[in-house]
Amino acid sequence: MIKKIVYTLLFIWPSAILANEPKDWQLGFQKSASKSMDDIVWFHDYMLVPIITAITAFVLFLLLYVCVRYRASKNQVPSTTSHNTLIEVIWTLVPCLILIVMAVPSFKVLYSQDEIPKADVTIKAIGYQWYWGYEYPDENIIFDSYMIDEKDLKENQPRLLAVDNAVYVPVNKVVKVMITANDVLHAWALPSFGVKRDAIPGRINETWFKADRTGTFYGQCSELCGIKHAFMPITVNVVSEDEYNKWLEEAKVKFAKEEIKNKIKIVKKIREIR
C-alpha cells in the first residue's frame, strides 16, 4: 500500500525522481551522493531527533509546569531557597555530558572530510566575478564555466543552475578539489556531495568527494561575492569511467581550440589598438 502511494506520488511529481537540485518548497537536504553527505545527514538527524527534540520538550515542560504550579493565586508565599548544591551539580554536569555526546560524532564527521584520501582525479576550481574557471592539472585542460541565460535554456536545464561547460568526474573515484579565487571571496559548494569550501584569493583550499552514483549535480557560489553572486552556479556531471575518458579526449580538443580562438581575439584587439 505504502509502495503504491510512493510510486503514485513519484509519477504525478516527476521532479522528485531527479533529486540532484533544489526543489520548490523543499524541506531538508538534497539527496546525498557521497559518504561525506551521508555522514552529514546522519549527524543532522542524530542532533535534531533525539537531542534537540528532547531538550526542547523538557524545557517547555518545565516552563509550563512552573507557570501552572507556582502561579500567584496558588503560591502566595514564594519560597526563599537560593541554593541547592545537588541541583547545581546536576545542571552543570548534564549539559556537559550532552555537549560531549554531540561533540564526539561531530569531530568524527569533520575529520573524515578533512583527511583527503589518495586522489584519482584532481580539479582546480577558481572563482571569478562572476563565473567559475576549472583546471584539470594532470590533463592540461583549462576552461571557464558560465551560467546559461534563462532564454537559452534547453529542456531539463534548471534555471540559475545550468552552465555552458560542466565539470566531469568519474563515479566512485576520489576527486580532490583545489579551490581558490582570482578577485574576491567565493565558495565552491555542492550540497549532494556534502562539499563547501571558501575560495580565497592567493590561497588554495582543498576538499574532496567520492560520488557514489552517476547524474548531474548542481551547486552554487556560497560566499556573497558581488552583484552577480547568484549567477555563478556549479554543474558537475558524474559519469562512468569510460564516459569520463571520452570526455577527457573531447575536452582536450574543444578547450584547446577555444584557447586558440581567444588568443587570436586578443592579438586582433592589440593590432586594432596599435
From the list 203, 31, 36, the residue with the least C-alpha distance to 110 is 36
**Residue number with CB closer to Cu ion (101 or 200):** 200
- Conformational region of residue 223, where left means phi above 0, alpha means psi within -120 to 50, and beta covers everything else: beta
Min CB(131)–Cu ion separation in Å: 9
Kindly state the cell numbers that stand for 237.
556531471
Question: With CB under 5 A, what is the number of residues at the site for Cu ion?
Answer: 3
> Per-residue string for binding with Cu ion, 225-244, x by CB under 5 A?
x-------------------
CB of 130 to Cu ion, least distance (A): 6
One character per residue 53-92, x = contact with Cu ion (rule: CB under 5 A)? ----------------------------------------
Shortest Cβ 160–Cu ion spacing (Å): 13
What count of other Cβ atoms lies within 10 Å of the Cβ of residue 118?
Answer: 7
CB of 49 to Cu ion, least distance (A): 34
From the list 44-52, 91-99, 212-220, 224-232, the region that binds Cu ion by CB under 5 A is 224-232
Q: Which is nearer to Cu ion, 121 or 221 (CB)?
A: 221
- Inter-residue contact 249 to 53 (CB < 8 Å): no
Helix or strand run (H / E) with residue 231: none
- Minimum CB separation from Cu ion for residue 268, in Å? 30
Sign of dihedral through CA atoms 32, 36, 40, 46?
Answer: positive
Helix (H, G, I), strand (E, B) or coil at 29: coil
- CB under 5 A: which stretch of 38-46, 71-79, 83-91, 218-226 binds Cu ion? 218-226
Q: How far is the CB of 141 from Cu ion (least distance, A)?
A: 22
Candidates 68-76, 115-123, 154-162, 214-222 — which segment interacts with Cu ion by CB under 5 A? 214-222
Strand arrangement, sheet containing 141-145 = 141-145, 131-136, 121-128, 175-181, 205-209
CB of 165 to Cu ion, least distance (A): 17
171 — phi, psi (to 5°)? -75, 150
Nearest to Cu ion of 33, 232 (CB atom): 232
- Nearest alpha-carbon partner for 35 in 231, 209, 234: 209
- Determine how β-strand 121-128 pairs with β-strand 175-181: parallel
For residues 157 to 196, the per-residue mask of contacts with Cu ion, x marking binding by CB under 5 A and - elsewhere, is -----------------------------x----------
Dihedral over Cα of 161, 167, 171, 174: its sign:
negative
Binding site for Cu ion (CB under 5 A): 186, 221, 225
